[in-house]
Structure 1
Amino acid sequence: MAMNFKIFENEQVVAEYAADILRKQFNNNPTTIAGVHLSSENAPVLDELKKNVDKHAVDFSQINILDYDNNKSYFEALGVPSGQIYNVSFGEDTESFINDKIKTKENKGKLITQVLSIDTNGKLNVSVNQGLFSSREVILVITGSDKKEVVHKLYEENGKTSFEPSDLKAHRMVNVILDEAAAEGLPEDVRHYFTARFA
């Protein structure tokens, strides 16, 4: 159970960092199943991922994408085969979906990564219980000063409240990637620690 905060200067650097993590994940595990839901995020993660992949080729032939944002044409342009891009919704039970539609001997039917953001009202738009707990790793991208209150709640609350994102604290591995504006919602000493350590 770990929620790791990484703070970077601005949303562009956040996007570059998140894209680099994703591209390396695809390279290191060529049978990755990944969920992507970034429609409520300003950081241009997908733009940066395309640039990153253009510089460092990735074999997408066995990659499967859970596409929460209807970005099929983007993932096709990236190189993911059309039949391996799945439109899924908020409450989709990802374990059942993967077992039914994606599981192969090679990928063992395991959701490796969920990359998502949070809106200014604190909504994840992917169900924590149905869509996130089955993932090996969750990457939560949060940028902008309009999300600092959400970041504050995420840091302070300890689950089992009406603020569903705090339930993520029970997940085994959550990386929260922030820009300085969103990180204003963290206590100053915490902000300093994660900026000094990770930036």
Structure 2
Amino acid sequence: MAMNFKVFPSADTTARYAADIIRKQFNNNPTTIMGVHLADDNAPVLEDLKQNVLRHPVDFSQINIFDYDDNKSYYETLGVPATQIYELSYNDNPVEKIEENIKSKENKAKFTMQVLSINSKGELDVSVKTGLMPAREIVLVITGAEKAELVKKLYEENGNSSYVPSDLKAHRMVNVLLDEAAAEGLPEDVRQYFTERFA
């Protein structure tokens, strides 16, 4: 149980990597149930996802999206059926939505992935307990120099403080995607290691 940090040269390259992860998830698991809350970051993940899907078509007929950012028309344009896009807010429970709307005798639906960012106040805007911990995988996109201090807290704190995002360290699979500006919050040796290894 640990966070996997990956450092990229810019917000654009971070976005491209995130978009590639998402598109591959859709291709590898055509029944993916994914939450998306990226309004709190400047990395153009959704724009890159659209371009990625144009290059590598996806069958969206069984994909379900939990839309935290009121982007229904975007997902419809992408190819997700309108009836499989669910608007969610902080207090909504994705697992309950799955039980009510997606899971059936034939479809043992699982909450596959949650993709989100941290806002400038250091908040996730999605409940860790109900909105994040049930997901099989979490992708956290953080870009910009203004978030370097938040990255530092995320890296250093162990979940025993009041800094809620550090509670994610208890999750089994969290990928934290950073641009170099946000990664300034990491110790230099750690930042260099994750840049050389993953970028």
- With the length of structure 2 as denominator, give the TM-score of the two structures: 0.98
Q: CA deviation at 1:97?
A: 1.7
Question: Where does residue 69 of structure 2 map in the other structure?
Answer: 69
In 2, Cα distance between equivalents of 1:109 and 1:186: 37
Q: CA deviation at 1:160?
A: 2.8
In 2, Cα distance between equivalents of 1:131 and 1:30: 21
> CA offsets, 1:63-109, max 9 Å, x none?
00000001000000000000000001112121112111111356522
In 2, Cα distance between equivalents of 1:185 and 1:106: 46
Pair 1:140–1:62, CA change in 2 (3 A): same
- Which amino acid in the other structure matches residue 39 of structure 2? S
In 2, Cα distance between equivalents of 1:104 and 1:182: 42
In 1, Cα distance between equivalents of 2:196 and 2:156: 21
In 2, Cα distance between equivalents of 1:176 and 1:28: 21
Q: Write out aligned runs for 1:9-158 (5 A).
A: 9-105=9-105, 107-158=107-158
Pair 1:42–1:51, CA change in 2 (3 A): same
What secondary structure does 1:24 align onto? helix
Aligned identity (percent) is 66
Pair 1:106–1:56, CA change in 2 (3 A): farther
In 2, Cα distance between equivalents of 1:108 and 1:54: 29
Task: State the 4+ residue runs in structure 1 displaced beyond 2 angstroms.
Answer: 104-107
Retained in 2: the 8 A contact 1:32–1:107? no
What secondary structure does 1:197 align onto? helix
What secondary structure does 2:77 align onto? helix
- Which amino acid in the other structure matches residue 162 of structure 1? S
When structure 1 is superposed on structure 2, of 102-111 and 148-157 the one drifting more is 102-111
Retained in 2: the 8 A contact 1:33–1:110? yes
In 2, Cα distance between equivalents of 1:94 and 1:86: 9
- Which amino acid in the other structure matches residue 81 of structure 1? P
What secondary structure does 1:31 align onto? coil
RMSD of the alignment, in Å? 0.9
In structure 1, the gaps of 5 or more residues are none
In 1, Cα distance between equivalents of 2:14 and 2:104: 33
Q: CA deviation at 1:125?
A: 0.5
- Which amino acid in the other structure matches residue 97 of structure 1? K
What secondary structure does 1:175 align onto? strand
When structure 1 is superposed on structure 2, of 4-13 and 154-163 the one drifting more is 154-163
In structure 2, the gaps of 5 or more residues are none
How many residues matched? Answer: 199
